[in-house]
Amino acid sequence: MTRTPELTPPEPNVPDVSEPSSVAGGIAAIRHSFEHIVRESGLLRGTGQLLAVNQRHGFDCPGCAWPDPDDRRELTEFCENGAKAVAEETTTKRVTPDTFARQSVADLAAMSDHDIGKLGRLTHPMVLREGATHYAPIAWDEAFALIASELKSLASPDEAVFYTSGRTSNEAAFAYQAFVRLFGTNNLPDCSNMCHESSGVALKQTIGVAKGTVKLEDFDHADCIVVIGQNPGTNHPRMLTTLQRAAARGAAIISVNPLFETGLKAFTHPQQFWRWMGAGTPIARLHLPVRVGGDIALLSGLLKELIGMNAVDHAFIAAKTSGFEQLAASLADTSWEDIVRESGVTREHIQEAAAILARSKATICCWAMGLTQQTHGVAAIQYVTNLLLLGGHLGRPGAGACPVRGHSNVQGDRTMGIYEKPSPDFLQALSREVSAQLPDAHGYDTVEAIRAMHDGRAKVFFAMGGNFLSATPDTRFTAEALRRTRLTAHVSTKLNRSHLVPGRAALILPCLARSDRDEQSTGEQIVSTENSMSVVQPSRGKLSPPSEHVKSEVAIVCELALAALPPAKRGSVDWAGWRASYDRIRDSIERVVPGFAQYNERLRQPSGFYLPNAVRDSQTFATPSGRAQFVVCPLPRTNLASDQLVLMTLRSHDQFNTTIYGLDDRYRGIKNGRRVIFLNQADIRARGLTSGQHVDIVSHFGTSTRRADRFMVVPYEIPERCAAAYFPEANVLVPVDSVVPGSNTPTYKTIVVTIAPSQAQ
Ligand SMILES: Nc1nc2c(c(=O)[nH]1)N[C@H]1C(S)=C(S)[C@@H](COP(=O)(O)OP(=O)(O)OC[C@H]3O[C@@H](n4cnc5c(=O)[nH]c(N)nc54)[C@H](O)[C@@H]3O)O[C@H]1N2
Ligand SMILES: Nc1nc2c(c(=O)[nH]1)N[C@H]1C(S)=C(S)[C@@H](COP(=O)(O)OP(=O)(O)OC[C@H]3O[C@@H](n4cnc5c(=O)[nH]c(N)nc54)[C@H](O)[C@@H]3O)O[C@H]1N2
Ligand SMILES: [Mo]
């Protein structure tokens, strides 16, 4: 099979490879921040924006969801990658109707993702009419009328899919889901389905809340912090400040990762100038180089060791949990030989980690995509909660579960009802609020939505942000799915590849970004977001929007609702009133979503407010039994053929998901290119390959194979039989049907592959 050029354009460069860095942050982080911001946004405008990030009267960083300190915001609460995110959205470059007149969809699709993103902010609503080669400008009213007519022509509301990415504000998300449900469907897939869905499912079953249970201040009281399947140096750089403080006061940090990521080795705070010359603060006391997908085996080893040492909180287990005996029995039956083989970690290393855990009176476990996206992601996270439950580390200061979220408001969007499986309580409250009957059948999640579009069950695709084509698995299959729809419509700040793989007709609807001023008829509006630790906070943009034709997400939803819902289906919602004043949307949220009492008043407090959390606040476990559950899962076994490897896909230091800021991955020693595959030296040798050679990667699932061509071989310190490549280039390899049981999340981190000589020249 050959490359589909418009999905994965060739990379002309040969990447440079050098040694990975041993310290994260430092002066290089400052230099890179300023290079990006000055290039995109200009010195004055750009630095002005950086000073407003995460400040009380500024805007919430559009990067990750790591929280801000409640009481001690430093002058500049941003990091290198936050700066890149701000640079990317405050760019002064523009994608205008002229850009589209000069370049056809095919021309644009031939560009790399990096170059498409660098074209700038979208300024006008655009349409690609059936059969057209170029996008053309369209008036907003006409765009809404087009969507409305396609929606009205459907045989059932369930033939439409409404996707959401995680940057959408609480206010826009609440209005959007209300519109979608009044229209008549729960087809509300979101990026969470591909992200922390496994965490939500696992935690709900074991501890009764689907979110994390720690506050930022708990990191100041933890004795031990386990960072498992997460690369904070790149994806949550502000977390390194927290880890640095913890390490400096003697807390033991354990890294569990196939790669010893730079940010977990050592860190120099970019804003502590006096430290720039030093070697940085060592972060992880112990690194456990687990095999890709070997976490359940490793955690089983830790649990077995701890039970053997009687490092068990028997009082907590008796009072608050169930299932401990079954877990202990299953661990007694699990051999060390299996544990060591499947985890790839030696017994001595496991004992060393267990000794640290046994001494800890307060342990926090942090994790991200390294767990959620592996084949047994839900079970792996439940083994993390097993570990926390064993020592009673939940609902106690300095201890708890910390799934580190990705997008800056992905958690808030879920709280607002962006979910294809809404709870009956939520639906009842919403139905009361909007005075209408709402559908209760579950809708499509992301993977189901792709299949539904592919086989014709879904015919209209609407996206509130994101880059569905490039973020989802099986890029070729997803492209076919999108092309089979009657209409694709994207509310976006910037051009991306999803706009270039259209349905029969396509719309691009340009919207305001976080950093833009949001002026409506009653005056300037604020929006709100919820971070990874359930703090709801205000966000206020300051910049002039990229053009007068750009609308806020809230305005787009409200106008679409008025265009697409006949008066009888609009419920009691005053859509024009919601658009005019977001306070009125918040009044509605307050009546529907628990924890938002006095939303408008409390949002105007300096640091926002915490949402209630039964585990954190009162050690209450809202599971069916009222107890926290230990979970038993048979040890998963890898069955690789002799030439096969397990591939994980991950982020470079120069990207935010499908937005490619630059072509370097500084910490891993890669420059000027992205099509690389990291391999263990022994695997390179065993296959007769050489460093720097170009190869194709072939994935295997059931009887099907998929191919991604021309990746450069890079020798790397990674466990044998494991490999790594970047997302989204490697998404063509991820089979749409390969999903995590329980969460239906694509197994982006555990793809069985072989390496073949490169077929392309
Ligand atoms: N700058 C920047 N910030 C971001 C993002 C970004 O793209 N750029 N994305 C945002 C989003 S949406 C998210 S969800 C987060 C993602 O944050 P991360 O989860 O840190 O992102 P990944 O790059 O997918 O890294 C996964 C880590 O898991 C490890 N890993 C892979 N497989 C396994 C395994 O089987 N076991 C274990 N223990 N580890 C494994 C990898 O080596 C890697 O270190 O970051 C958010 N923040
Ligand atoms: N192989 C592989 N695939 C993965 C992953 C992986 O680790 N490996 N990770 C998965 C994860 S964790 C996630 S979260 C998904 C991400 O999936 P998505 O959220 O769908 O993708 P993003 O790249 O974050 O979306 C970027 C686009 O969002 C738009 N945008 C940016 N800001 C705004 C805004 O304020 N409003 C609106 N309306 N639009 C905006 C811009 O047009 C930009 O091009 O990808 C998943 N895909
Ligand atoms: Mo994510």
Residue-wise pLDDT for 74-98, tens only, equals 545 568 888 899 899 999 999 999 9
CB-based contact 56:73 (threshold 8 Å): yes
State yes or no: pLDDT of 126 exceeds 60: yes
Q: How far, in Å, is the centroid of ligand 2 from the Cα of 627?
A: 36
CB-based contact 39:57 (threshold 8 Å): no
Q: How far, in Å, is the centroid of ligand 2 from the Cα of 168?
A: 11
Contacts of 332 (CB under 8 A, 6+ apart): 304
Going by the DSSP 8-state scheme, the letter that residue 407 receives in this structure is B
The closest of 635, 629, 670, 628 to 653, measured between CA atoms, is: 670
Cβ of 629 closer than 6 Å to ligand 2, yes or no, is no
Cβ of 33 closer than 6 Å to ligand 2, yes or no, is no
Q: How far, in Å, is the centroid of ligand 3 from the Cα of 331?
A: 32
State yes or no: pLDDT of 278 exceeds 90: no
Which of the ligands is closest to the CA of residue 747? 2
State yes or no: pLDDT of 367 exceeds 90: yes
74 or 27, higher pLDDT: 27
Task: Kindly indicate the confidence band of residue 52, based on its pLDDT and cuts at 50, 70 and 90.
Answer: confident
State yes or no: pLDDT of 315 exceeds 70: yes
Q: How far, in Å, is the centroid of ligand 1 from the Cα of 240?
A: 15
State which ligand 2 atom lies nearest to the alpha carbon of 657: 23
Report how far residue 466's alpha carbon sits from residue 648's, in angstroms, rounded to the nearest whole number: 22
Please give the C-alpha separations between residue 618 and each of 171, 361, 402, 597, in angstroms, as whole numbers: 29, 18, 17, 19
Helix (H, G, I), strand (E, B) or coil at 707: strand
Digit-coded pLDDT (tens) for 600-630: 999 998 789 999 999 999 999 999 999 999 9
Task: Kindly indicate the confidence band of residue 476, based on its pLDDT and cuts at 50, 70 and 90.
Answer: very high
The closest of 401, 389, 386, 396 to 317, measured between CA atoms, is: 389
Contacts of 585 (CB under 8 A, 6+ apart): 171, 174, 175, 554, 578
Backbone φ and ψ of 203, nearest 5°: -70, -40
| Phi-psi label, residue 42: left if phi above 0, alpha if psi -120 to 50, beta otherwise | left
Which of the ligands is closest to the CA of residue 368? 1
Which of the ligands is closest to the CA of residue 403? 1
Which of the ligands is closest to the CA of residue 649? 2
Beta-ladder partners of 356:
none
The pLDDT score that the predictor gives to residue 59 is: 87
Q: What is the mean pLDDT of residues 548-560?
A: 98
Q: What is the mean pLDDT of residues 702-713?
A: 96
480 or 10, higher pLDDT: 480
Q: Is the pTM of this model over 0.95?
A: yes
Q: How far, in Å, is the centroid of ligand 2 from the Cα of 420?
A: 18
Residue owning the nearest CA to atom 11 of ligand 2 = 195
State which ligand 1 atom lies nearest to the alpha carbon of 196: 14
Which of the ligands is closest to the CA of residue 678? 1
Neighbours of ion ligand 3 (CB under 5 A): 195, 406
Ligand 1, residues at Cβ distance < 6 Å: 63-64, 81, 195, 228-231, 234-236, 256-259, 261, 290, 292-293, 295, 368-370, 374, 406-407, 648, 650-651, 655-657, 749
The pLDDT score that the predictor gives to residue 73 is: 55
Query: The tokens of 161 are what?
Result: 């899919």
Cβ of 60 closer than 6 Å to ligand 2, yes or no, is no
Q: How far, in Å, is the centroid of ligand 3 from the Cα of 747?
A: 13
Cβ of 496 closer than 6 Å to ligand 2, yes or no, is yes
The pLDDT score that the predictor gives to residue 275 is: 56
User: What CATH fold (topology level) applies to the domain 16-21+638-757?
Assistant: Barwin-like endoglucanases (2.40.40)
Q: How far, in Å, is the centroid of ligand 1 from the Cα of 293?
A: 14
Helix (H, G, I), strand (E, B) or coil at 716: coil
The pLDDT score that the predictor gives to residue 76 is: 54
- Tokens 């305001």 sit on residue: 512
CA 66 to chain centre: 12
Residue owning the nearest CA to atom 47 of ligand 1 = 235
The pLDDT score that the predictor gives to residue 71 is: 61
The closest of 402, 127, 115, 116 to 239, measured between CA atoms, is: 402
Digit-coded pLDDT (tens) for 421-470: 999 999 999 999 999 999 999 999 999 999 999 999 999 999 999 999 99
Residue owning the nearest CA to atom 45 of ligand 2 = 471
The pLDDT score that the predictor gives to residue 697 is: 98
Report how far residue 348's alpha carbon sits from residue 351's, in angstroms, rounded to the nearest whole number: 5
The residue whose CB lies within 8 Å of the most ligand 1 atoms, and thus the one to mutate among 255, 369, 529, is 369
Q: How far, in Å, is the centroid of ligand 3 from the Cα of 194?
A: 7
CB-based contact 216:610 (threshold 8 Å): no
Residue owning the nearest CA to atom 25 of ligand 2 = 466
Helix (H, G, I), strand (E, B) or coil at 526: coil
Q: What is the mean pLDDT of residues 679-685?
A: 98
Mean pLDDT over the full length of the chain: 95
CATH code linked to domain 112-193+409-605: 3.40.50.740
Q: How many CA atoms lie within 13 A of 662 on its CB side?
A: 21
- Tokens 């028997």 sit on residue: 314
The residue whose CB lies within 8 Å of the most ligand 1 atoms, and thus the one to mutate among 84, 373, 375, 650, is 650
The pLDDT score that the predictor gives to residue 29 is: 87
Cβ of 659 closer than 6 Å to ligand 2, yes or no, is yes
Q: How far, in Å, is the centroid of ligand 2 from the Cα of 425?
A: 29
CA 315 to chain centre: 37
The pLDDT score that the predictor gives to residue 334 is: 98
State yes or no: pLDDT of 1 exceeds 50: no
Report how far residue 196's alpha carbon sits from residue 212's, in angstroms, rounded to the nearest whole number: 11
Which of the ligands is closest to the CA of residue 166? 2
Q: How far, in Å, is the centroid of ligand 2 from the Cα of 165?
A: 6
The pLDDT score that the predictor gives to residue 730 is: 97
Q: How many CA atoms lie within 13 A of 428 on its CB side?
A: 4
State which ligand 1 atom lies nearest to the alpha carbon of 367: 19
The pLDDT score that the predictor gives to residue 268 is: 86
Cβ of 165 closer than 6 Å to ligand 2, yes or no, is yes
CATH 3.40.228.10 for domain 197-407: yes
CB-based contact 353:286 (threshold 8 Å): yes
Residue 310, judged by CB atoms within 10 A of its CB (0-12, 13-18, 19+), counts as: exposed
Q: How far, in Å, is the centroid of ligand 2 from the Cα of 618?
A: 35
527-530 β-sheet, strand order: 527-530, 535-539, 609-610
State which ligand 1 atom lies nearest to the alpha carbon of 166: 12
Residue owning the nearest CA to atom 27 of ligand 1 = 230
The residue whose CB lies within 8 Å of the most ligand 1 atoms, and thus the one to mutate among 231, 646, 661, 729, is 231
Give me the numbers of helices (H) and strands (E) for the chain, helices first please. Answer: 30, 33
Digit-coded pLDDT (tens) for 489-516: 999 999 999 999 999 999 999 999 999 9
400-403 β-sheet, strand order: 286-288, 252-256, 224-228, 363-367, 400-403
State which ligand 2 atom lies nearest to the alpha carbon of 511: 38
Per-domain boundaries in the chain:
16-21+638-757, 24-87, 112-193+409-605, 197-407
The pLDDT score that the predictor gives to residue 272 is: 64
Which of the ligands is closest to the CA of residue 471? 2
The residue whose CB lies within 8 Å of the most ligand 2 atoms, and thus the one to mutate among 464, 492, 554, is 492
CB-based contact 414:166 (threshold 8 Å): no
Cβ of 467 closer than 6 Å to ligand 2, yes or no, is yes
Strand 609-610 and strand 535-539: pairing?
A: antiparallel
Query: The tokens of 246 are what?
Result: 């913890």
Residue owning the nearest CA to atom 40 of ligand 1 = 370
The pLDDT score that the predictor gives to residue 457 is: 98
CB-based contact 84:656 (threshold 8 Å): yes
Residue owning the nearest CA to atom 7 of ligand 1 = 656
CB-based contact 363:388 (threshold 8 Å): yes
Residue owning the nearest CA to atom 15 of ligand 1 = 406
